[in-house]
């Protein structure tokens, strides 16, 4: 028991990127297994936690900070990323402008993180893969950008849940320098569904405890 407690880690993961790219949806999918097709702009910061287990029975409490899209221009962004173990930059594959802004996000992040004691793991996420028919950002562009800026690279759909927990687990594993076996990643592949969730499943913003999910909390800091 004492040994288990000793091994439990708290990691801070910051999710940023343009407004409407799907940051909040990824957090809600990861923390609560829910999806809301309506758009509610995140003002300030939302905050989620979920406990995950990595290979080797390593328990991790992931504290996920969902940064409002407007925050790149905010004086708070340096405080949000301070002490982060991982930073995820999200864009919408159906919106090339959101990919163009990834450069600004990554440049800003690298400048802010220069003074940090340890540089967090950085990840690039192309979200909304369920809308592949409307894709505007080529796979090659994404791959080249991730390679050039030394970012981990992912594709997700918050709507179907595809690769969402795999994203957070792989970022956490990279922070912890734990190798994720392929079998572990394959578990995360979720078949595409027409309707992912019902509206009443979606928690309202604000300090909320989700019934029946003891390992998850959601709160909002304005």
- Residues found near ligand GDP in the complex (CB under 6 A): 19-25, 36-39, 42, 69, 127-128, 130-131, 157-159
Task: Work out how close the CB of 143 gets to Mg ion at its nearest, in angstroms, rounded to a whole number.
Answer: 26
Contacts 24+ apart (CB under 8 A), 100-104: 101/17, 101/18, 101/72, 102/17, 102/145, 103/145, 104/72
Residue closer to ligand GDP (CB basis): 27 or 84? 27
Residue (of 24, 26, 28, 27) closest to 40 by Cα position? 24
Task: Work out how close the CB of 129 gets to ligand GDP at its nearest, in angstroms, rounded to a whole number.
Answer: 7
Q: Which two tokens stand for residue 28?
A: 């809600």
Residue closer to Mg ion (CB basis): 12 or 23? 23
108 binds Mg ion (CB under 5 A): no
Task: Work out how close the CB of 42 gets to Mg ion at its nearest, in angstroms, rounded to a whole number.
Answer: 3
Contacting residue, 21, 32, 34, 42, with Mg ion by CB under 5 A: 42
50's contact among ligand GDP, Mg ion, none, with CB below 5 to 8 A by partner kind, is none
Task: Work out how close the CB of 131 gets to ligand GDP at its nearest, in angstroms, rounded to a whole number.
Answer: 5
Mention every residue, 6+ apart, whose C-beta is less than 8 A from residue 214. Answer: none
34's contact among ligand GDP, Mg ion, none, with CB below 5 to 8 A by partner kind, is none
Mention every residue, 6+ apart, whose C-beta is less than 8 A from residue 135. Answer: 93, 94
Residue closer to ligand GDP (CB basis): 7 or 40? 40
Burial (Cβ within 10 Å: 0-12, 13-18, ≥19) of residue 125: buried
Interacting residues with Mg ion (CB under 5 A): 23-24, 42
């Amino acid at each position: 028991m004492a040994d288990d407690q000793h091994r439990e880690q708290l990691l801070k993961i910051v999710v940023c990127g343009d407004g409407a790219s799907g940051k909040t949806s990824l957090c809600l999918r990861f923390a609560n297994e829910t999806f809301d097709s309506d758009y509610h702009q995140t003002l300030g910061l939302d905050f989620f936690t979920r406990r995950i287990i990595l290979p080797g029975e390593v328990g991790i409490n992931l504290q996920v900070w969902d940064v409002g899209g407007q925050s790149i221009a905010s004086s708070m962004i340096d405080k949000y990323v301070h002490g982060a173990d991982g930073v995820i930059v999200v864009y919408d594959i159906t919106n090339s402008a959101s990919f163009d802004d990834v450069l600004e996000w990554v440049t800003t992040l690298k400048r802010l993180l220069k003074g940090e004691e340890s540089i967090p793991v950085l990840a690039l996420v192309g979200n909304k893969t369920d809308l592949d028919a409307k894709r505007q950002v080529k796979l090659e562009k994404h791959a080249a950008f991730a390679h050039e800026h030394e970012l981990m690279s992912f594709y997700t759909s918050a709507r179907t849940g595809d690769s969402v927990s795999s994203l957070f687990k792989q970022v956490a594993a990279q922070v912890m320098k734990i190798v994720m076996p392929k079998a572990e990643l394959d578990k995360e592949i979720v078949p595409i569904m027409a309707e992912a969730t019902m509206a009443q499943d979606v928690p309202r913003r604000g300090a909320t405890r989700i019934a029946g999910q003891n390992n998850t909390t959601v709160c909002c800091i304005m």
